[in-house]
Amino acid sequence: MIDYSNWPRWRTVASGRVSQVIPEHNAYYDVKCRKRLFEFFSTIFFATVNYVSKTGIQMNLLHNPHHLTVVAPAKVNWYLELLRKRNDGFHQIETFMSTVSLYDTISFAPRGDHELNLKVLQGCTSDAESIPLGPDNLVLRAIESVRARCAGAVAKQGFDIVLHKRIPSAAGLGGASSDAAATIKAINGLLGSPLGAGQLYELAATLGSDVPFFLRGGTAFCEGRGERISPLAAPVGQWIVIAKPPTGLSTPEVYSQVVISQRQRDASEFGLRLKTGKPSLIGDWMHNRLQPFAIPLNDEIKVIQNEFQLLQDAGRCCGHQLSGSGSSYFGLFSTKRLATTATVKLTGRAPGFRYFCCRTTGSYGLGKSDHGATAA
């Protein structure tokens, strides 16, 4: 009989049939090898997750000459101040935003004609029904905008597009804007990169105030109506929990209620705190000037605000507020354990909401903006 007790562990693991190689009386090695296998694959998995968190979530998942799939992340607003109402009807704002590891997936496949065929997949039917499939869809508008700036045959290239929505709509998370930004970069690449970085930023600004931010992602200070981007060198990986009420909010409706405050906060102070990466310092200074105007339009926001406040009173949440114009509400947590525990607790106390436990991500895009901004 072969004595298995002296076999080296690497040979046992490499066999791929641990339970058959090791006899019953040598169960010690059976347990140890299974544990080593689990640790090995866990290390690979978490190393991949950490790499995505540090380098940014928006990247090509599959790219060949006939197919391209990209992901488009959501964002949260750490700080949002309203300075004045402009002559063009927009508001002059200052805001700090970060992309997070909640994202949509978009696939593009070139067609043999000039048609654009969009299909939307969504787990939440109500959100899917609220997404336009015609010319008003930002993904289709982004493709048309890129093609309009091209010459020759590529200007008529058609695509089959599949948009898998995970980011809730009418939530203040920038889902549609992120989809547009991801589409701009993807289509420009599939058409042979006829547009440079500056042209892409100019194009993005015509589609929406948040779209230029999503071309680069990460953390940034945004001015104007949101299209002037200054990247910020802030640590990534902040743990947040996003709560989306059953109903959304219209951004124009929220802004229509705004009364400009005469006592405005200093954005530079928050920028310094955000650079430290310390949740306690960030949470103490979080600010959204739109929040008091959004809450009366949606009673559900007040419900979840109270739940986050209970977590903060218990020392578990560092800060919480509305994201953008809502209706999503989010809280900042110092550790993964606190964030995941809070998600479970909130799910039990306010079961009608959708919850997302995620982290902030790094930049992934075009480098310098057309405004020449560099990392602050």
Average pLDDT for residues 122-129, to the nearest whole number? 54
Q: Looking at per-residue confidence, does 41 or 132 come out higher?
A: 132
Judge: domain 60-231, CATH 3.40.50.1980. Answer: no
Average pLDDT for residues 227-233, to the nearest whole number? 95
Q: How many CB atoms lie within 10 A of CB 332?
A: 25
Q: Which is it for the CA torsion 243, 245, 248, 253, positive or negative?
A: negative
Average pLDDT for residues 264-268, to the nearest whole number? 91
Q: Which is it for the CA torsion 287, 289, 293, 298, positive or negative?
A: negative
The domain spans of the chain are: 4-55, 60-231, 239-359
* CATH (residue range 239-359): 3.30.70.890
Residue carrying structure tokens 């947040």: 240
pLDDT at residue 119 in the model = 94
Average pLDDT for residues 38-59, to the nearest whole number? 49
Task: List the alpha helices (DSSP H) in 113-196.
Answer: 125-129, 138-148, 175-190
Model confidence over 338-359: pLDDT tens digits?
Answer: 999 999 999 999 999 999 999 9
60-231 and 239-359: identical CATH topology: no
pLDDT of 370 higher than 60: no
Q: Which of 66-75, 243-252, 366-375 bottoms out in mean pLDDT, i.e. has the lowest?
A: 366-375
Q: Looking at per-residue confidence, does 150 or 41 come out higher?
A: 150
As a whole number of angstroms, the distance between CA 215 and CA 231 comes to 11
**Which of left, alpha, beta for 152 (phi over 0: left; psi -120 to 50: alpha)?**
left
Q: Which of 165, 210, 244, 370 is catalytic?
A: 210
pLDDT at residue 39 in the model = 59
160 is catalytic: no
Q: Which stretches of the chain are assigned E, i.e. beta strand? A: 60-64, 67-85, 91-110, 116-122, 159-165, 219-223, 228-231, 239-244, 287-288, 319-322, 329-333, 354-359
Q: Which of 19-28, 87-96, 97-106, 114-123 bottoms out in mean pLDDT, i.e. has the lowest?
A: 19-28
- Phi then psi dihedrals of residue 235, to 5 deg: -60, 145
pLDDT of 187 higher than 90: yes
pLDDT of 41 higher than 50: yes
Model confidence over 142-158: pLDDT tens digits?
Answer: 999 999 999 888 889 99
Burial 116-129, CB ≥16 within 10 A → b, else e = bebebebeeeebee
336 is catalytic: no
- CA 250 vs CA 163, 244, 254, 257, 273: distances in Å: 22, 14, 6, 11, 31
Model confidence over 272-318: pLDDT tens digits?
Answer: 999 999 999 999 999 999 999 999 999 999 999 999 999 999 999 99
Give the pair of three-digit tokens for residue 7.
Answer: 């076999």
Mean pLDDT (the chain, rounded)? 84
Q: How many CB atoms lie within 10 A of CB 41?
A: 10
Strand 228-231 versus strand 219-223 pairing type:
antiparallel
As a whole number of angstroms, the distance between CA 285 and CA 79 comes to 8
- Phi then psi dihedrals of residue 95, to 5 deg: -150, 145
pLDDT at residue 42 in the model = 52
